Structure formats: structure tokens, C-alpha cells
A and B are shown apart, each in its own frame.
Chain A
């Protein structure tokens, strides 16, 4: 066996450049797989995290009749006495924050410009509102008792040419179906680096939002953030709610995203297959060339009594060595490039899919699962690629092989 390995190693050394580039093809394939998997992992992780932190929370409690798409403000569609319920839920050990929120649809106008907006009444002091406070890029954050202050996202500020201190007219629906207009002052401009969210969401203190929409003591939802996403089901089981309410988890609230993730995984598998097929064809080509070039040698080995299976092992040893070399190069290139994009990220700008919150920069995230699985997959595919040329060599008739041109 050692002699076979030695021969295989030297055979690869005969055409060093070809062997190097073949291994590099395997390496480049693996590196690409690692980088792709890490980017997807980073994107999925960041998108779901953004959706949870900014929009859906881990759990929401709503009235059964509440229709999110219509942002209904009728009292019957809202949660009554939300503060009391939120306070009770906050007492659970797994809960990071539970806070009432009120959503209303409306639009902002400034001069001749206007833009549709999702008005969100929040408790500015709740830890659940931290991402907005932390995302403040100019002006000041909201106080719970602000009466004419709004917080707007940077894309909306750009669109309406607004800056801190400017007045803006806000029109929004009320609980009785009328439209209420009021002038507010832009108190602060925030960014969560999530275009789809920042371009539409306008924050008001909850009490002001309730006052202007005439929904006193009601909220659209109890927004609950947990310390750990994995605790979602356990907390849902621990919650007891009245019959008119319903519990929604982040999976229900981000159904589009969950579906997209499943669909993306199947598309990604096709990309994986394409990349592996390219690497495999390079290896097959290299080894077939090698078999043809060494036909006479195969004849000699056969003549001195080497059985077909040992000739096959010789070629499989060569493909194993190419696989090992390729995997080492692939791991090196893949891990280093992933580390680079883990620190610096890919800037994608406003490429978020409609209905999904995707940050403007994707940070690659390499998991051990992906690393191990892709490495094994590449290694196995490379070995399998060597099988056909190896079988071809082992089946050569010695007399025909000996007759081959040198």
C-alpha cells in the first residue's frame, strides 16, 4: 500500500502544474461552497434576527379578530388593558421585554412631498425599543410623554427632505374610521440598516398614538421579546390568555421568511451540485488524461502481475491525494474569505425582498456543521470522480496497453 501511495504521489508530481490546478479546482469549489453557505447562514440569521427584533418580536398577543394587513384600530380588534397584561408577562423568567404596541397606517407630508407610513406607538423606555434608540443617528430619542414628537427612519427623512426639528404633517386613521391630521416635529432620525423597515416606520410614544387614534387603553399587540429564541414554545405553553386573544410566534409572523428559507435551501442545493459537478469533471478529466498517457505503464504493471483491483487502487490513491490537496486549499481559502466577510460584510444596499427585513450588509457566518459537511461532501465527490478513470485503467487488457505508443 505504501508503494502504491508513493507511486501515486510521484505520478501526480510528473505533471505538477496539472495536478496543482486540478487540486485547486477542488479547492476553489470547496471554498465557494463554504463562502456561499456562510453568507446564506449569515443572511438568514441576520434577516430572522432583524425581523424578530424590529418587527415581530418572538411572540405577540393580539385580538383574534385583528387583521395585520389592515392595521385595524376598532376597539374590538385590539387588546384591552395591554399595560396590565404586558406587566404580568414581563414577570416570566424567559422574557426579556413585553410591551404594548399600536399600529396605524397613515402618511407623512412635508411641503409637496408625502410618503406612506406605518405609524407605531411604542413605549420608548421598554428594552424592546432599544434597537430604535440605539439606531438614532441625529436628534433625540422619544420620551413617553412627548406630545408632538416623531422618530423617523433615514430613508424617509431623505425622501421628504426632513431634518431634526422640521415640522411634518401626519395623517392617520382613527378607531372610528376617520382621518386625523396633526403636525409633529421630527425629534430624531434613526436607522436600523434595514431599508424596508426604516423607509416606512414612524414612531410615536404609545400614549400619544392612542390619543390621536382614539384607542385609549388599547393596543394592537403585546410585543414580547425573549432572552432566547429557543424558549419560544415553552413560553407559549406558559401563557394563559382570555378567549378573545390569540398567541402568534415569530414563525407565524414571519411565515413568508420561513417559506423563503426553505425555498432558498433547495435552490442552494442546486448551486452546490453545480459547483461539485464542475470540480468533479476537472478531476475526471485529469485522471482520464493520466490513464491515457500511462497506458503502457498500466500494461507493464499488469504484465508483472498487478491485479486490476490494485491498478484501480493506484488511481484512486491519486484522486485521494488530489482530494486531500484540494480540501486543504479549499479550507484555507474558504475559511479566510469567510473570516474577511465575517468582519467586513457584503454591502448589498437596498436589496431586501418585499415583505422581508434584510439588513444592508450581510456578514458571513461559518458554522462547524457547514464546514464539516461541505468538506466531507467535497472529499467524497472527488473520490467518486476518480472511480471511473480508475475502473477504466483496471480493465485495460495488458496486451493492448503494452502496445500503446509511449
Chain B
């Protein structure tokens, strides 16, 4: 089953009088359970493509389907709902809410989804255990290392049981050991839960984890293997 289907997507940015074409007609299909890497040099369009799939941005033309739904037709609130229910995000800069503990950060998407208290607690504990951070549940982000913060972000992304997790340079701010730990966890969760992972990177160590590598250059897919 296709989780993501992209049809002839273009994205043009207008900066003053200058027009930049970040995507120039991309077609891509990602099936459920894939562990796919988007690779390419800086400016190749990896992040833009992730943002299209993640309903964070809208294409200039073309169609983006996530979980069978054409997200280009959704309004702002519907896109927020789509993200909340179907998509998890892992960012390069960890992106945790600094005022909330690890537990509360993981809990946030479940609260937004209106999950009951008991179920929520069970789910958060299960996820913190999966990323080996049960003993850090009450720590706030500034009390955690970069690797630990990224593991909390992974737990948060998985919390609402999304169909798809998008990770933008997930190891870029981590040292080798922590980077490997994060990738091991992502791979393990992909295998155990079957959730689809799509990550943008240019780190060869990360690419080595991918079972499918989609290479972009100048806003076009030049290789898919």
C-alpha cells in the first residue's frame, strides 16, 4: 500500500524578483513500511520534498497524496489535522518544547489527539522504554544530551502511531556514537512497528541504513535504488 504518492510536484520560491525552482517536477511513490533515504547535495530539494510530504508546505503545482488523501486540497487546519494524525517529524535541531519534560514532550501529540489519561500514560511509558529513556522521563530538554533529546523526538514522532515518520538530517547535530544509536533505534522501530520512515540526509553512515535511496539533484530525482 502506498503511504506517499507524489505526482509531478514543482515548488517555486519567489525571493524579490528572483525565482528559485526547488522542485522541478518530482514523481515518487513510497510504500508502507519502507525505510527510505532522500539524498543529494545541499540545495537539491531534499528538505523541500520532505516538507511537501509532511504537509508543512504546498506545491506550486502537482499533487501530493498521503495515506490516500490529496493533501494539496486541504486547508490550513486540515493540514494540521493530517500532520497530527498521520505524520511524525524528527528534526535536525531536536525540536523539543523546552518547558516540557521528556514525558510531556512525548505526551503532547497524544493530548492533541484527545487520548484518555490512562491510555496516554501507558503509551508514553512504552515509547520512552523503546528509546531507552524511562529514567529520564522527568528531565527537561536542557537536562538531556543531544542524543537523548533526539531519542525523545523519535518517541514523540511515534506517539500517535503515524503512518509515516519524516526525519530531516536526524543525525546532523550528533556525534558518531549518538548518531548510530539514533539510527539503530529508528531501524528497530521500523522493523518492529512497520511504520514508514523517510529521512533526508547526506551522511553516508545514515544512508547505509536505508533500504531504498532516492537521490535528488537540482530539484529532480536522478536516481532511485
Instruction: Give chain A residues whose Cβ lies under 8 Å from the Cβ of B97.
Output: 7, 297, 300-301
* B residues near A301, Cβ cutoff 8 Å: 97, 108
User: Which residue, B56, B104, B156, has most C-beta atoms of chain A within 10 A?
Assistant: B56
B100 touches A10 (CB 8 A): yes
**Chain B CB within 8 A of A302 CB:** yes
Per-position 1/0 for B41-82, Cβ under 8 A of A: 000000000010010110000000000000000001100111
Q: Closest Cβ of chain A: how far from B11's Cβ, in Å?
A: 11
Q: How many residues from B make CB contacts under 8 Å with A?
A: 30
Residues of A within 8 A of B111 (CB): 3
On whether the beta carbons of B156 and A304 are closer than 8 Å, the reply is yes
Q: Which of B56, B77, B99, B112 contacts A11 (CB 8 A)?
A: B99
**Chain A residues numbered 287-305 whose CB sits less than 8 Å from any CB in chain B:** 296-297, 300-305
Binary interface encoding of chain A residues 370-406 relative to chain B, with 1 for a CB under 8 A from any of its CBs, else 0: 0000000000000000000000000000110010001
Separation of A304 and B90 alpha carbons in the complex (Å)? 10
6 additional contacts (CB under 8 A) given A13-B99, A297-B97, A304-B112: A3-B111, A7-B100, A296-B95, A303-B89, A303-B91, A303-B95
Partner of A303, one of B76, B83, B98, B99: B83
Please tell me if A208 contacts chain B, counting CB pairs below 8 Å. no
When the two chains form their complex, are residues B99 and A399 in contact, meaning their CB atoms are under 8 A apart? no
A-B contact pairs, 27 of them (CB 8 A): A6-B104, A10-B99, A11-B99, A14-B98, A14-B99, A296-B95, A297-B97, A297-B98, A300-B91, A301-B97, A303-B56, A303-B91, A303-B95, A304-B84, A304-B109, A304-B156, A305-B80, A305-B81, A305-B85, A305-B109, A305-B112, A305-B113, A306-B112, A307-B81, A308-B76, A308-B80, A402-B56
Residue of B nearest to A395 (CB): B76
Shortest CB distance B62–A (Å):
17
At the interface, yes or no: A163 with Cβ under 8 Å from chain B?
no
What distance in Å separates the Cβ of B98 from its nearest Cβ neighbour in chain A?
7
A binding-site residues for B, Cβ under 8 Å: 3, 6-7, 10-11, 13-14, 296-297, 300-308, 310, 398-399, 402, 406
Q: Is the CB of A307 within 8 A of B93?
A: no
Q: Looking at the complex, which one of B93, B95, B99, B156 makes contact with A7 (CB distance below 8 Å)? A: B99
With A303-B83, A398-B56 as contacts: A308 and B100 at CB distance below 8 Å: no
> Which listed residue, B51, B56, B104, B112, touches A310 by the CB 8 Å rule?
B112
Whole-angstrom distance between the alpha carbons of A204 and B126 in the complex? 97
A399 neighbours in B (Cβ, 8 Å): 51, 56-57
Judged by DSSP, the binding face of A is helix
CA A357 to CA B107, docked complex, whole Å? 68
A304 to B100, CA, bound (A): 15
Cα separation A75 to B72 with both chains bound (whole Å): 98
Within the complex, which residue of A296, A304, A402 is in contact with B83, where a contact is CB–CB below 8 Å?
A304
**Chain A residues whose C-beta falls within 8 Å of the C-beta of B99 in the assembled complex:** 7, 10-11, 13-14
- Point out the residue from A6, A13, A305 that lies within 8 Å of B84, measured CB to CB: A305
Q: Which chain A residue has the least Cβ–Cβ distance from B78?
A: A307
Other-chain contact of B77, A7, A297, A307 (Cβ < 8 Å): A307
Provide the bound-state CA to CA distance between A13 and B107, in Å.
21
Contacts known (A3-B111, A297-B98, A399-B51); A307 close to B57, Cβ less than 8 A: no
> Whole-angstrom distance from the CB of B140 to the nearest CB of chain A?
9
Q: CA–CA, A30 to B72, complex, Å?
A: 50
Which residues of A sit under 8 angstroms from B77, Cβ to Cβ?
Answer: 307-308
A307 and B83 CA atoms in complex are apart in Å by 10
Q: Is A303 within 8 A of B112, CB to CB?
A: no
The CA of A192 and the CA of B125, in the complex, are separated in Å by: 78
User: In the assembly, what is the distance between CA of A399 and CA of B97, in Å?
Assistant: 17
CA distance A93 to B98 in the complex (A): 74
Which chain A residues border B80 with CB–CB below 8 Å?
302, 305-308
Look across to chain B and name the residue whose beta carbon is closest to the beta carbon of A14: B99
Taking the nearest CB of chain B, how far is it from the CB of A163, in angstroms? 75
Instruction: Tell me which residues across on chain B come within 8 A of A296, comparing CB atoms.
Output: 93, 95
Query: A307 CA to B77 CA in the complex, in Å?
Result: 6
Query: Inside 8 A of A304's CB, which chain B residues have their CB?
Result: 83-84, 88-89, 108-109, 112, 156
The 10 closest A-B pairs by CB, nearest first: A305-B84, A10-B99, A305-B83, A300-B95, A399-B56, A307-B80, A399-B57, A304-B109, A303-B89, A3-B111
In the complex, how many angstroms separate the beta carbon of B2 from the nearest chain A beta carbon?
Answer: 22
Q: How far is the CA of A210 from the CA of B5 in the complex (A)?
A: 110
- Report the minimum CB–CB distance from B123 to chain A (whole Å): 15
Among the interface residues A302, A303, A308, which one has the most CB atoms of the partner chain B within 10 A?
A303
Q: Decide yes or no: A402 and B81 within 8 Å by CB, A300-B97, A301-B97 being known contacts.
A: no
